[in-house]
């Protein structure tokens, strides 16, 4: 067969026995043209450690600054106290704040910024405001019992007792538990802390009884207020408000008792220190010293007389 019989456009490998069949042909791998996505970089561990150290150092500086400010305030308080003591005539009583022409002068000296350390001033002020709150409640209790007496003539005993409780509890609570607390924080006295705790527990019991409002006890508590609602709604509402005030006094008293008890442990006070302070105070009392000297003198005289009689 001549070359003219061959198709010039035919595949030269068509009749090649070594050519693989078309079905077994594989497509060559075509690389993907999709752009690579970069993962977000994570924060360097070294940078994180530096940030933490910087935050800790800043917190330590703030803590030291607060400590320095507290000590500066404490030194300023002591300096003002010394200046007040060194004034001519010493510290003058300033509580209760009475006019100069009043026949009776102030009985106590009170200055939170001078007497009380900075970290305890807020607590002592809250206790002072609590005493004032209870005093105002006792004053309103008089008008509540008066209104109750107006609608029920058999409630005259409650009205008289309400006046008595106001005149009795107002000064006694100030002298018996507030002033010991003030003095305990002022001079870090364990003995005054124990006096406060003992009297304040009794005061809390009084708050509870006043909030209960038993009839013929002179208190516009819940029992009395609910009873008065049957006769007069306005009087009953008035007495209910006073009962709520007595209840608030009891609740706040319990909260502040726990607060002061926690601060009592912080100050380092203890029962042993209270005993030592009591013994030291008794022995340093001029009255006790005079009584002891008189007793010793009497005993010595009696012994001398017995000796002479024996001879």
Domain-embedded: residue 104: yes
Same domain as 160, residue 126: yes
Per-residue pLDDT tens digits for 180-221: 999 999 988 889 999 999 999 999 999 999 999 998 999 999
Same domain as 237, residue 89: no
Domain-embedded: residue 311: no
What is the CB-side half-sphere exposure of residue 144 using CA atoms within 13 A? 33
Same domain as 121, residue 93: no
What is the CB-side half-sphere exposure of residue 124 using CA atoms within 13 A? 23
Name the nearest CA neighbour of 220 among 298, 308, 142.
Answer: 142
Name the nearest CA neighbour of 138 among 245, 56, 267.
Answer: 245
Same domain as 149, residue 106: no
CA angle centred on 60, ends 55 and 64, rounded to 5°: 150
Same domain as 99, residue 210: no
Contact 84, 114 (CB under 8 A): yes
Domain-embedded: residue 290: no
Question: End of a domain among 55, 83, 115?
Answer: 115
Per-residue pLDDT tens digits for 108-126: 999 998 899 998 999 999 9
Domain-embedded: residue 111: yes
Long-range pairs for 107-110: beta carbons < 8 A, 24 or more residues apart: 108/179, 110/182
Kindly indicate the confidence band of residue 60, based on its pLDDT and cuts at 50, 70 and 90.
Answer: confident
Percent of the chain with pLDDT over 90: 44
Same domain as 235, residue 214: yes
Same domain as 91, residue 188: no
Question: End of a domain among 115, 139, 169?
Answer: 115
Q: How far apart are the first and last CA of the chain?
A: 182
DSSP state of 258: H
* Average pLDDT of the segment spanning 134-155: 95
Domain-embedded: residue 66: no
Same domain as 235, residue 162: yes
pLDDT at 33 exceeding the cut of 70: no
Domain-embedded: residue 25: no
Domain-embedded: residue 43: no
Same domain as 224, residue 252: yes
Domain-embedded: residue 6: no
CA–CA distance, 182 with 173 (Å, rounded to integer):
13
Same domain as 202, residue 105: no
pTM assigned to the model: 0.66
The total of structural domains in the chain comes to 2
Contact 80, 114 (CB under 8 A): yes
The larger pLDDT score, comparing residue 235 to residue 9, is at: 235
Same domain as 259, residue 150: yes
Same domain as 100, residue 127: no
Q: Which domain does 78 fall in, by range? A: 71-115
């Amino acid at each position: 067969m001549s070359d003219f019989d061959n198709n010039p456009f035919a595949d030269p490998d068509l009749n090649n026995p070594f050519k693989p069949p078309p079905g077994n042909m594989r497509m060559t791998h075509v690389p993907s043209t999709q752009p690579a996505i970069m993962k977000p970089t994570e924060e360097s561990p070294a940078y994180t450690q530096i940030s933490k150290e910087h935050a800790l150092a800043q917190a330590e500086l703030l803590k030291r600054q607060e400590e320095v400010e507290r000590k500066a305030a404490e030194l300023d308080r002591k300096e003002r106290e010394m200046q007040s003591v060194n004034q001519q005539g010493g510290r003058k009583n300033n509580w209760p704040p009475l006019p100069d022409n009043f026949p009776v002068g102030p009985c106590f000296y009170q200055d939170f910024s001078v007497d009380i350390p900075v970290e305890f001033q807020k607590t002592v002020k809250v206790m002072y405001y609590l005493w004032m709150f209870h005093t105002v409640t006792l004053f309103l209790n008089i008008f509540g019992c008066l209104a109750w007496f107006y609608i029920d003539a058999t409630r005259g005993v409650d009205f008289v007792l309400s006046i008595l409780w106001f005149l009795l509890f107002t000064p006694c609570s100030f002298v018996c538990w507030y002033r010991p607390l003030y003095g305990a924080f002022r001079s870090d006295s364990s003995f005054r802390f124990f006096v406060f705790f003992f009297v304040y527990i009794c005061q809390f019991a009084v708050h509870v009884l006043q909030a209960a409002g038993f009839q013929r006890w002179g208190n516009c508590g819940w029992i009395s207020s609910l009873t008065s609602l049957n006769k007069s709604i306005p009087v009953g509402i008035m007495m209910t408000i006073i009962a709520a005030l007595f209840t608030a006094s009891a609740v706040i008293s319990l909260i502040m008792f726990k607060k002061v008890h926690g601060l009592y442990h912080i100050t380092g006070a203890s029962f042993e220190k209270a005993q030592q302070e009591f013994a030291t105070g008794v022995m340093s009392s001029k009255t006790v010293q005079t009584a002891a000297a008189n007793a010793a003198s009497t005993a010595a005289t009696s012994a001398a007389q017995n000796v002479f009689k024996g001879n």
